[in-house]
Amino acid sequence: MSALDEARKEKVMNAMEHTKAFIAAVAEFDADQVRAAAEAAQRGDPSIIRVLVKDAGVPVDARDKDGATPLMAAADYGKPDAVKCLLALGADASAKSNNGTAAVHRAAGSAMGGGPKDDKASQDCVKCVKYLLEAQEGGVDDTAALESRADDGATPFLMACSRGAEASAEFLATRGANAAATLKSGVGAASLAAASGNPGALRAALRHGAPTGTRPVGGMSALHIAASHPNTSTHSLELVKSLLDAKADPNVADSEGLKAVHAAAAVGRGAVVEVLIKVTEPDAGAEEWNALAVQKTVQAKLAAMGAGGGEKLAATPEGAALAAAQVSETCVPHDVPTEVRDAEVAARTKREGDEAFIAGDNAAAIDKYTKSLDADGTNEKVWANRAAARLKLRDYVGALRDARTAKKIDCEYVKAWFREGTALTELGDYEGAALCFFEGMQVEGQSENPDLKRGFDAAIKKGRDAMIKK
């Protein structure tokens, strides 16, 4: 190659490097503009939004890496003034993000709408939903907008039910939303509302015709979920009674042959068992139909499913106790990050994890919860939810570590204590389990927590039985 060719090559290479640097700088500038618009929308500040769009030239439908627009950001945070401002500036209400959600889905499923139906935040979310529907071709009662589907099949109504947003669910239903719609997985509004743990949201769904029996093939029914889902522990009895009043069938069994009464017994909800046992057909071969008979069926089913998950413990009682104690002592919590990497991805994948858990797909639930934690590892509820899914798969060591991580983040989060105690019980560390349940009851207001008390009593009994066998 001649000296001239070498010089030309170097010139071309330098030009390419300058071009790459310029493109990177433009991309960073664009990203900053998108972030600024999204933050202004999240804050609900119309004056900043107008300056960014009209004066700074930021596209009103500028998208971030997940395909979300400022309008979606305003909807996420339930900011009606920002939604109204962006729509007036020409924002596209029908635009969808990478996961197929439009702004109306996000307003309906906003975390801000999950409180009491009459509080300001819930009503602000309803206003957002109303403005977004009005902005679309057919107006507020437009069927196409009401039934718009995200990639997982969620409609705005299903999103509201999943969030436990009673006010938004009620508003959408009165506008004609289809209460019988389901996700692609087959999960329906009653199941999603039950899993939210909000009795008001469930009543709203049922009042507008949400079927109680819709579920994935072999999956949990709404009654199973109300009786046993981690999110329903506080209002489980009220949720179950609402479903029974709506003619939910207590005799439907999941893929393991367990009915709702068995699911309630498996997580130690005695009051729920007592209500369900009165309306559930007796198990085959049961001489008497009472809580003890239900528990025997549960134990037999779990034994038939195998121990799985955790490491096999020693054959002798002494060896088992030692092995369990060793596992407990060496199972340390995960490192918890101090920053949130992507709150939107974390919220979306948590919701997908909840839906998978409801559908009985615990492996998928763990995968989604893991992705949520990758985006935001500071949320103790997701750690505890993943622990619950691991318990279902008999991964007791994994569940123990997740539960301890949730407790590390918030030592007053009672579900973390309960799941740690449950994992320790299953691992055979009955002394550690009893201590865990007892310490959980020392959390303010939890001295009479029925789940913790039952867990404590069960751990003491199992420990005593193990001593007798020595």
- Full DSSP string of 161-224: HHHT-HHHHHHHHHTT--TT-B-TTS-BHHHHHHHHT-HHHHHHHHHTT--SS---TTS--HHH
pLDDT category of residue 26 using cuts at 50, 70 and 90:
very low
Please compute the mean of the pLDDT values over residues 149-159 and round it to a whole number: 93
- pLDDT for 292: 85
Q: 242 or 437: which carries more pLDDT confidence?
A: 242
**Is it the case that residue 71 has pLDDT exceeding 90?**
yes
Same domain, 330 and 448: yes
pLDDT category of residue 433 using cuts at 50, 70 and 90:
confident
Same domain, 279 and 423: no
pLDDT category of residue 142 using cuts at 50, 70 and 90:
low
**Is it the case that residue 191 has pLDDT exceeding 80?**
yes
Same domain, 295 and 371: no
Written as six digits, the tokens of 70 are 């400022």
Q: 184 or 11: which carries more pLDDT confidence?
A: 184
In a domain, 356, yes or no: yes
Across-strand partners of 102? Answer: 96
Chosen domain end from 253, 273, 305: 305
- pLDDT for 139: 58
Same domain, 286 and 331: no
Q: Which residues are CB-contacts of 381 (< 8 A; sequence separation ≥ 6)? A: 350, 406, 413, 415
pLDDT category of residue 418 using cuts at 50, 70 and 90:
very high
Could you tell me the CATH number of the domain that includes residue 436?
A: 1.25.40.10
Same domain, 221 and 347: no
Same domain, 285 and 325: no
Same domain, 218 and 352: no
- The count of residues in the chain is 470
In a domain, 51, yes or no: no
Give yes or no for a contact between 451 and 233, defined as CB atoms under 8 angstroms apart.
Answer: yes
- pLDDT for 32: 66
**Is it the case that residue 28 has pLDDT exceeding 50?**
no
- pLDDT for 120: 94
- pLDDT for 8: 56
pLDDT category of residue 468 using cuts at 50, 70 and 90:
low
Q: What range defines the domain where residue 223 resides?
A: 212-305
pLDDT category of residue 140 using cuts at 50, 70 and 90:
low
- pLDDT for 23: 37
Same domain, 301 and 324: no
- Tell me the C-alpha distance between 69 and 102, whole Å: 9
Could you tell me the CATH number of the domain that includes residue 218?
A: 1.25.40.20
The pLDDT tens digits of the residues spanning 257-274 come to 889 999 888 777 889 999
- pLDDT for 303: 61
Mean model confidence pLDDT for the chain? 83
Amino acid identity of residue 389, one-letter, is A
Chosen domain end from 305, 339, 370: 305
Please compute the mean of the pLDDT values over residues 20-29 and round it to a whole number: 40
Please compute the mean of the pLDDT values over residues 419-441 and round it to a whole number: 86
Percentage of the chain surpassing pLDDT 90?
45
In a domain, 109, yes or no: no
- pLDDT for 318: 46
Please compute the mean of the pLDDT values over residues 455-466 and round it to a whole number: 80
Amino acid identity of residue 2, one-letter, is S
Same domain, 277 and 241: yes
- pLDDT for 332: 59
- pLDDT for 430: 83
Same domain, 354 and 292: no
- pLDDT for 312: 35
Same domain, 333 and 295: no
Same domain, 253 and 389: no
Q: Which residues are CB-contacts of 429 (< 8 A; sequence separation ≥ 6)? A: 321, 324, 325, 327, 328
Least confident of 12-21, 98-107, 174-183: 12-21
Rank 79-88, 211-220, 229-238, 330-339 by mean pLDDT and report only the highest: 79-88
Domain count of the chain? 2
Q: What is the pTM of this model?
A: 0.65
